[in-house]
A = this chain, B = another copy of it.
């Protein structure tokens, strides 16, 4: 099945429309995966996720290994049955989480020792174990274990982590047994174009059914993110899917697709929703603003989500101000539907070969958020490089 894991159907400039063939259905690409790290997309049932139009979600090996444990999920018949989701699942290996959430890491070529962020218990993860855990979880697409560097790390440190990631990728590939499950490699190399190219070249020499770009959107300015994608994608095989990990703001999806990305995941749409930040065609707005208290119209009149079809902005504002749990759910529904609709429009425009117009159109209307914050972020980053 990995041989026919991906069909490229059409390109429009650098953008690609295709489909992923998985054991749990065909997934049209470009695709955005809602994040369900702990085997649940926060506030939503599997029925909701399907009704929102998604057919692939992301879950996380690090989280599930620590709680409830791989044994429990395996005993329950695997991740799909455990969470009652019959669509496709991609599991991340947990590499990123070990390097971002877990305290007291010790990395050697053999693997990484870390402490649980939940109870402080010590654990040892190797490339082989990461693959084995993911085989037992039973996801449709699984990821190699990678060593992630911080965006401010110096070149030598990043190079060493990258080279280890390559050695680990090879071990993952060698140990992967399960049929009907696609194992993707992860290109690393930090913010160094030369390393990104090296990583892409090295990993494409091994025969993975898909390639991810990791270690981006970790604090660096957006121009750098896009530049790194631009360095990497041309070196990846055209016939295989490309997954940009952890990136998924509306404008980032458009720009990623324009550069040849097929798969996205990101906690941002659901996380900011729970803070009251909601996507509209004009940009992100905050439902807590006073203007919404008495607005007798949906937050986004162009939106066809359950929230906008049924409730006024005033009601949503009331739920947020009253600390009501339904607020979090209705906002999550809205933001995911917005992203789902956007990705759908992108795909249609690629199939019509009108993607570049669609992209211009969308970006002209969509105010990206917090220019100030981004300037500050950039300054912080530049300073860290000195």
Contact = CB atoms under 8 A, between A and B. Distances in A.
Contacts of A72: 293-294, 314, 318
Interface string A85-97: 0000000000000
Contacts of A318: 38-39, 67-68, 72, 82
Contacts of A311: 83-84
Contacts of A312: 76, 82
Contacts of A319: 38, 40
A105 to B, nearest CB: 22
A348 interface: no
Identical chains in the assembly: 2
A325 B328 contact: yes
A376 interface: no
Contact of A296 (B45, B63, B76, B293): B76
25 contacts: A38-B318, A38-B324, A40-B319, A40-B324, A42-B324, A43-B326, A43-B329, A45-B306, A45-B310, A45-B326, A46-B310, A47-B306, A63-B322, A68-B293, A68-B317, A75-B296, A76-B296, A77-B296, A82-B314, A82-B315, A82-B318, A83-B311, A83-B315, A84-B310, A325-B328
Interface string A15-43: 00000000000000000000000111011
Contacts of A40: 319, 322, 324, 326
A321 interface: yes
A366 to B, nearest CB: 28
A197 B84 CA distance: 54
A219 to B, nearest CB: 26
A291 interface: no
Interface in A182-203: none
